[in-house]
C-alpha cells in the first residue's frame, strides 16, 4: 500500500511540476472560465432573467468545460516523446498510475474552480454567506466524480488521432448526471433553502463518486494494455 | 543425466514465430529469437522492415498477432517483475520536455523503486558526461545530448534485458565510444542486449549474433562470424535478392 501511494504521489507530483513550468492547462482553463463568466454576465437580459436564476447554471458550465480543458492536457503530455510508454514500462501497478493522474487532474480542476468561484461571486453579485460551505462541498463531490471518469477517457483517447475531440464527446454523457445534480443543489443553496432539500442531491453525488471512482480504478489497468 | 538449466545460463528471452499485422499489411512474419544473458543481438534492416515493431513486442508494449514471447517464463510487460527486467530505448525519448534530465531520471528511478532516486539519476548522468547539463529542461538539449539522456534512462535501473533502437543516432564519435563502453559493461555484468542499428561498424564489436530483417522476415540470422563489412556485403545481397 505504501509503494502504491508512493508511485501515485510521484506521478501526481511530476504532472504538477510539468504544469507549473508549462502552465498550458491552467492558463487555457482559466482563460476559458473568465471568458465564460464575462460573456454570460453581459449577455443576460436583466429585465427578463435575474442573476440568481442564471447563476448556478453558469457556474457549472464554467466548472465543467474548464475541467474538460484541464483533463485534455492530462495525457497529452504523456503523448509527447512517447512518455506514456515509459510509464507503461515501469514495474508499478496500473492502478497507482491512475490514482496519480487522478490526483493531479483533481488539483488542476480545483485550482481552476478556486479562481473561478470568486470571479463568479463578483460578476453575478451572489451572496455566498451561509452557502459557501455547501457550494464547496457540492463542487468537491461533483468534481471528484467527473474528473475520475475524465481521467480514464483521457487515457483511452490519447492514443487516437482526435484525442482533443474524442474526450469531450465521450465524457459529456457521463458528466451530465453529476453536473445536473450539482446545479440543482447549488440553486437551492444560493436561494437559502433548508439543508433537507439539498441532502438528496449530496447523497446522489456521493453515490456517483463511489461507483465511478471504483469502476475507473478497476477499468484503467486493462485500458493501459494494448 | 539432465537437470533444469540454471537461470544464469538459460535463455532470458525466447520469441517464437512472431507475426504482426497492421490491417492487411504483414509487418512481421515467423520471427524467432533466443537471447541469453551476456549476448548482444544486432538487428539491421531497411526502414519499415519491422525492427521497431519487433522491439515493442519484445518489450511487451505491443502484442503479436501470432507466436509467443517469453521473458524468463513470463509474458513481457504483463507483470511488474517482467517490466523491471527490461530497459527500452526507442525512437522517442520517453522524457518530459519541461523537466530537467535529473528530474526525468529521478522520476524514472522512483517508478522503479530505487532507494535514492536523485543520487541514482546523477550517477547515471555523470557516467555519460551529462552532469553539467543535468538541471536544464531537456527541451533545451541538442539531439545528441537528448539521446544520451534517453540512454541513461533506459540503463538507469540496471535491467537484465536492454532493447535499444538506434542508440548511436545523433551521437558524436566520443559519445558513441562512451555508449559502446557502457554497453560492454552491461554485457559483462550479465545483461542481454537486443540492438537495432544502422551503424553496423560501431555496433559490431559488441555483437554476438547478427540478423538482417527484410520485409518482416529474417534474411540473415546467426552468431557473428567475420567482419562487419562481410556482414554488410551479405546484407546488401539479401536486399537486392
The arithmetic mean of pLDDT across residues A110-130, rounded, is 88
Contacts of B95 in chain A (CB under 8 A): 81, 83, 86
User: How high does pLDDT run on average in chain A?
Assistant: 90
Q: What is the pTM of this model?
A: 0.90
Question: Phi, psi at residue A115, to the nearest 5°?
Answer: -80, -40
Nearest chain A residue (CA) to B147:
A81
Long-range contacts of B177-185 (CB under 8 A, 24+ apart): B178/B128, B178/B129, B178/B148, B179/B128, B179/B148, B179/B151, B180/B205, B180/B206, B182/B127, B182/B128, B182/B151, B182/B155, B183/B40
> Cβ neighbours of residue A45 under 8 Å, at least 6 residues apart?
none
Closest CA to A100 of A172, A140, A148, A29: A148
Question: Chain B, 158-197: which have a CB under 8 Å from a chain A CB?
Answer: none
DSSP A202: H
Let me know if B234 is exposed, middle or buried by CB neighbors in 10 A (0-12, 13-18, 19+): middle
Q: Are residues B95 and A83, on separate chains, in Cβ contact within 8 Å?
A: yes
The arithmetic mean of pLDDT across residues B187-209, rounded, is 95
Nearest chain B residue (CA) to A92:
B80
ipTM more than 0.90? no
Q: Are residues A82 and B81, on separate chains, in Cβ contact within 8 Å?
A: no
DSSP B92: S
Nearest chain B residue (CA) to A2:
B113
Residue A1 has pLDDT above 80, yes or no: no
Q: Which residue has the higher pLDDT, A30 or B39?
A: B39
Alpha-carbon Rg for chain B in angstroms: 18
Contacts of B90 in chain A (CB under 8 A): 82, 85
User: How high does pLDDT run on average in chain B?
Assistant: 92
Model pLDDT, residue B9: 62
B171/B89 Cα distance (integer angstroms) = 14
Residue B169 has pLDDT above 60, yes or no: yes
Model pLDDT, residue B1: 37
Model pLDDT, residue B7: 46
Model pLDDT, residue B5: 41
Residue A117 has pLDDT above 80, yes or no: yes
Q: Are residues B94 and A18, on separate chains, in Cβ contact within 8 Å?
A: no
Task: Kindly report the nearest CA distance between residue B221 and chain A, in angstroms.
Answer: 28
Contacts of B86 in chain A (CB under 8 A): 89
Q: Are residues B111 and A22, on separate chains, in Cβ contact within 8 Å?
A: no
* Cβ burial A90-118 (10 Å sphere, 16+ → b, else e): bbbebbbbbbbbbbbbbbbbbbbbebbbe
Query: Band of the pLDDT at A226, cuts 50, 70, 90?
Result: low
Give CA separation, A205 vs A131, A145, B213, in Å. 18, 8, 56
Q: Report the alpha-carbon angle A67-A170-A80, nearest 5.
A: 65
Kindly report which listed range (A124-133, B157-166, B183-192) carries the lowest average pLDDT score. Answer: A124-133
Task: Kindly report the nearest CA distance between residue A78 and chain B, in angstroms.
Answer: 8
A60/A38 Cα distance (integer angstroms) = 14
Q: What is the pLDDT of residues A159-217, one digit of tens each?
A: 888 878 889 999 999 999 999 999 999 999 988 888 888 999 999 999 999 999 999 99
Amino acid at each position: 500500500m505504501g509503494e502504491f501511494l508512493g508511485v501515485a504521489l510521484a506521478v501526481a507530483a511530476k504532472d504538477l511540476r510539468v504544469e507549473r513550468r508549462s502552465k498550458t492547462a491552467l492558463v487555457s482553463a482559466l482563460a476559458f472560465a473568465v471568458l465564460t463568466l464575462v460573456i454570460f454576465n453581459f449577455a443576460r437580459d436583466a429585465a427578463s432573467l435575474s442573476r440568481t436564476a442564471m447563476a448556478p447554471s453558469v457556474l457549472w458550465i464554467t466548472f465543467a468545460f474548464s475541467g474538460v480543458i484541464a483533463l485534455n492536457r492530462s495525457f497529452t503530455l504523456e503523448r509527447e516523446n512517447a512518455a506514456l510508454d515509459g510509464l507503461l514500462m515501469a514495474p508499478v501497478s496500473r492502478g497507482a498510475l491512475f490514482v496519480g493522474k487522478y490526483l493531479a487532474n483533481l488539483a488542476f480542476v480545483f485550482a481552476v474552480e478556486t479562481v473561478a468561484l470568486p470571479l463568479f461571486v463578483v460578476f453575478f453579485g451572489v451572496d455566498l454567506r451561509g452557502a459557501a460551505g455547501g457550494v464547496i462541498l457540492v463542487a468537491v463531490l461533483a468534481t471528484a466524480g467527473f474528473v475520475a471518469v475524465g481521467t480514464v477517457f483521457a487515457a483511452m483517447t490519447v492514443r487516437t488521432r482526435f484525442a482533443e475531440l474524442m474526450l469531450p464527446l465521450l465524457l459529456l454523457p457521463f458528466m451530465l448526471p453529476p453536473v445536473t445534480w450539482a446545479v440543482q443543489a447549488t440553486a437551492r443553496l444560493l436561494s437559502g433553502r433548508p439543508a433537507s432539500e439539498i441532502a438528496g442531491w449530496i447523497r446522489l453525488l456521493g453515490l456517483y463518486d463511489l461507483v465511478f471512482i471504483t469502476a475507473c480504478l478497476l477499468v484503467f489497468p486493462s485500458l493501459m494494455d494494448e | 543425466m539432465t537437470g533444469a538449466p540454471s537461470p544464469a545460463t538459460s535463455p532470458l528471452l525466447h520469441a517464437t514465430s512472431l507475426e504482426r499485422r497492421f490491417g492487411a499489411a504483414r509487418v512481421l512474419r515467423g520471427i524467432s529469437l533466443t537471447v541469453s544473458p551476456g549476448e548482444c543481438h544486432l538487428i539491421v534492416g531497411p526502414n519499415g522492415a519491422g525492427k521497431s515493431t519487433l522491439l515493442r513486442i519484445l518489450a511487451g508494449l505491443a502484442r503479436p498477432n501470432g507466436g509467443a514471447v517469453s521473458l524468463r517464463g513470463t509474458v513481457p510487460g504483463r507483470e511488474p517483475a517482467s517490466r523491471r527486467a527490461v530497459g527500452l530505448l526507442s525512437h522517442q525519448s520517453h522524457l518530459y520536455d519541461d523537466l530537467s534530465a535529473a528530474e526525468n531520471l529521478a522520476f524514472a528511478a522512483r517508478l522503479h523503486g530505487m532507494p535514492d532516486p536523485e543520487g541514482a539519476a546523477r550517477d547515471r548522468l555523470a557516467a555519460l558526461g551529462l552532469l553539467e547539463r543535468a538541471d536544464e529542461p531537456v527541451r533545451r538539449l541538442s539531439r545528441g545530448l537528448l539521446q544520451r539522456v534517453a540512454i541513461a534512462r533506459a540503463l538507469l535501473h540496471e535491467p537484465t534485458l536492454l532493447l535499444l533502437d538506434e542508440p548511436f543516432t545523433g551521437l558524436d564519435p566520443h559519445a558513441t565510444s562512451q555508449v559502446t563502453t557502457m554497453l560492454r559493461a552491461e554485457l559483462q555484468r550479465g545483461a542481454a542486449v537486443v540492438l537495432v542499428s544502422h551503424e553496423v561498424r560501431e555496433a559490431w564489436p559488441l555483437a554476438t549474433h547478427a540478423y538482417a530483417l527484410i520485409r518482416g522476415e529474417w534474411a540473415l540470422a546467426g552468431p557473428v562470424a567475420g567482419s562487419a563489412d562481410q556482414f554488410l556485403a551479405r546484407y546488401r545481397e539479401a536486399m537486392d535478392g
